[in-house]
Amino acid sequence: MARYDRAITVFSPDGHLFQVEYALEAVRKGNAAVGVRGTDTIVLGVEKKSTVKLQDSRSVRKIVSLDDHIGLACAGLKADARVLINRARIECQSHRLTVEDPVTVEYITRYIAGLQQKYTQSGGVRPFGLSTLIVGFDPYTGVPSLYQTDPSGTFSAWKANATGRNSNSMREFLEKNYKETSGQETVKLAIRALLEVVESGGKNIEVGVMTKEGLKQLEESEIDAIVAEIEAEKAAAEAAKKPASKET
């Protein structure tokens, strides 16, 4: 097995591309990220590690705009993310320049996934160590979309998805609790999924809300307020359960 991870272009006898799988491991070590699609809102949430006291947190933006109507969050190697995001931003403008139209969410996802795939089939390079969650509204139909790409270069559309650390727990939570939501309900659902694996509090979470007007980053105070609402709802649900069990 060890002989087959050196050069990315080599398949292993049982059909694996080990470098790609190792890249997926790198993603699994990255910060937790979640995306939830609503009818008129799409929300991205990312875990923020609050251990660094001296760092200026404003310089570490984990949810970025690729264009007016496209947002991206990722999990994995942040340096690789910077390169990919830069290429995607150039492509968004290049598309506008050549065809006088903004990109669709699917187009830019396909572009990013294509870029990630190229690096799994070239000599002497390693794959990008990150998975991305891409959100946006189609500029013509106004339909909201959430897409995910991974280091192998595959992509697909999702109603809700999670990547990075403990993504399985978040995905399980979303599978159990997903329903069609809009506006603030979508934001709450995304934050609830993130709180399953992240320490509670506004300073540990970064949230971006994409509406037809564009991508809005929520302030720490706004996130704290929503987290407080969620905790209150949870407490109320617990209290409602207790009297019933006492009777039996």
Q: Which residues bind another protein (CB under 8 A)?
A: 65-67, 86, 89-90, 92-94, 96-97
CB 5 to another protein: min, Å: 35
Report the first-to-last Cα separation within the chain, whole angstroms. Answer: 58
Alpha-carbon gap, residue 235 to 101, rounded angstroms: 49
Q: Closer to another protein at the Cβ: 65 or 161?
A: 65
Q: Are 17 and 11 in contact (CB under 8 A)?
A: yes
**Which CB sits closer to another protein, 49 or 82?**
82
Residue 159 vs residues 79, 82, 191: alpha-carbon distances, Å = 28, 26, 15
The smaller minimum CB distance to another protein, of residues 8 and 209, is found at 209
**Least Å from the CB of residue 59 to another protein:** 10
- To another protein, the closest distance from the beta carbon of 58 in angstroms equals 10
Nearer to another protein among residue 160 and residue 215 (C-beta): 215
Cβ-based neighbours of 23, under 8 Å, separated by 6 or more: 76, 126, 127, 128, 129, 151, 152
Say if residues 36 and 190 touch (Cβ distance below 8 Å).
yes
Q: Pick from 135, 96, 143, 138: which is nearest to 112 by CA?
A: 135
Least Cβ distance, residue 213 to another protein (angstroms): 15
Q: Which is nearer to another protein, 39 or 94 (CB)?
A: 94
Residue 224 C-beta: closest distance to another protein, Å = 24
